[in-house]
Amino acid sequence: MKLGGILLPTFFRGKRAEKIRRPDLASQWQLMWWKFRKHKLAMVGMVLLGIFVFMALFAEFISPYPPYDRNPAYVAGAPMGIRFFEEDGTFHMQPFVYGNKAQRDPITLRMKFATDTTQIWKLQLFSHGKPYRLLGIIPTDLHLFGTDKGFVHLFGTDFTGLDIFSRTVHATRASLGVAIIGVSVSFLLGAAIGGAAGYFGGALDSFIMRFIEFIRSIPTLPLWLALAAALPRDWGPLATYVAITIILSLLGWTWLARTVRSKLLATRKEDFVLSARLSGCSDFRIIHRHLLPSFISYLIVDVSIAFPEILLAETSLSFLGLGLREPVESWGVLLFAAQSIRAIDQAPWLMIPGIFVIVAVLAFNFVGDGLRDAADPYAR
């Protein structure tokens, strides 16, 4: 008893002492991370984004089928529910989907698919399927999941029998790709143009600011439409992809240019800038070595908030049929199929990619929010 009374506190104290944080020794990024971690929603957003990135990188592995694999036995079929219990209540350790029977409707002559509760197609993790190259390099035929017999369409299929789950997973790649490339190009343009405006000031500054106001005063959607419509229709999917990305970033740099400019205006009179000039640093060096890094955390926040805008822009353009086109898949391209009343009436599951868009946009916003709080040293 006595011994425990002496030993236990020291033991705990010792343990706690190891874990004490040292904000005085922590780097800027470490401090930001500590604050960020406290922001629950931002952490959720971070995890979601992690999943999206994983999906984009390993789309072939996660999706059970290649995105162009038609399944004639299940056209415009509804999502197949994963079950553990049979209709009669029998429990299976291994999840399964019920089999399907195709019948032709005797009146409308349309194909109808009825669940066949007599057939049980068991789901398997790491099943073998169509061969592909992982990350474009490693040849393999392993998929995250599959069935022992029959097929599984988690999100159903579209009117040509393509698996919507596989397509949505693959579409993550283009959607995030456009967003990432678009934001990066915007970032470079914004940092360079805003940097020049803020540092040199004067006539250049006024000119750039008026130009930005001009760009921002143009209604966005018509401008995108006009630019996208100006792209030759006979360009290949890759060229269109690149062109759309560039169009989006050419219009998206203005917000960042403004942030960079205002931050530069605030910091360029600092003494450390004067002392850098005294040391013979050139203007370019002062901007990119001394000034930009001093507010990079704010820029990162801005960038994370800009992601959803570009993501949505691409989705809207593609949805209207002016952005990316088949055979490139993006979430917007997939949603393009869900435009008609007929589609929504007969196959409402075509809108599932829209949920991905919403989740991704929310995740980006949450992360941006968390970053903004974390990057501000004065926020309590």
| Interface residues toward another protein, by CB under 8 A | 28, 201-202, 270-272, 274-283, 285, 289-290, 293-294
Q: Helix or strand or coil: residue 113?
A: strand
Q: How far apart are CA 223 and CA 221, in angstroms?
A: 5
In the complex, what is the shortest distance from the CB of residue 284 to another protein, in angstroms, rounded to a whole number?
Answer: 11
Give the integer Cα–Cα distance in Å for 179 and 45.
16
Nearer to another protein, 145 or 200 (CB): 200
| Rounded (5°) CA angle 33-38-44 | 90
d(CA 135, CA 59): 9
Q: CB-based contacts of 202: which residues, under 8 Å, 6+ apart?
A: none
The least distance separating another protein from the CB of residue 314, rounded to whole angstroms, comes to 34
Of the pair 68, 295, the CB lying nearest another protein is at 295
The residue among 23 and 222 lying less far from another protein, judged by its C-beta, is 23
What is the closest distance, in whole angstroms, from the C-beta atom of residue 24 to another protein in the complex?
9
The contacts of residue 176 (CB under 8 Å, 6+ apart) are: 52, 53, 56, 311, 360
Collapse the DSSP code of 131 into the 3-class scheme (helix H, G, I; strand E, B; otherwise coil) and give the result.
strand
Q: Strand, coil or helix: what is 141?
A: strand
Sheet holding 83-85, edge to edge: 83-85, 91-104, 111-134, 138-147
Instruction: Supply the angle between the helices 237-267 and 220-229 in degrees, to the nearest 10.
Output: 140
User: In this complex, which beta carbon is closest to another protein, that of residue 54 or of residue 272?
Assistant: 272
DSSP structural state of residue 294: G
Nearer to another protein, 9 or 377 (CB): 377
CB of 191 to another protein, least distance (A): 16
Q: Is 161 exposed, middle or buried (0-12, 13-18, 19+ CB in 10 A)?
A: middle
**261 or 325, CB closer to another protein?**
261
Whether 152 contacts 146, CB under 8 Å: yes
Specify the residue, 141 or 283, whose C-beta has the smaller distance to another protein: 283
- Separation of alpha carbons 49 and 45, rounded Å: 6
Nearer to another protein, 275 or 346 (CB): 275
Q: Minimum CB separation from another protein for residue 23, in Å?
A: 12
- How many other β-carbons are positioned within 10 Å of the β-carbon of residue 189? 17
Cβ at position 289, least distance to another protein in Å: 7
> Least distance to another protein from the beta carbon of 28, Å?
7
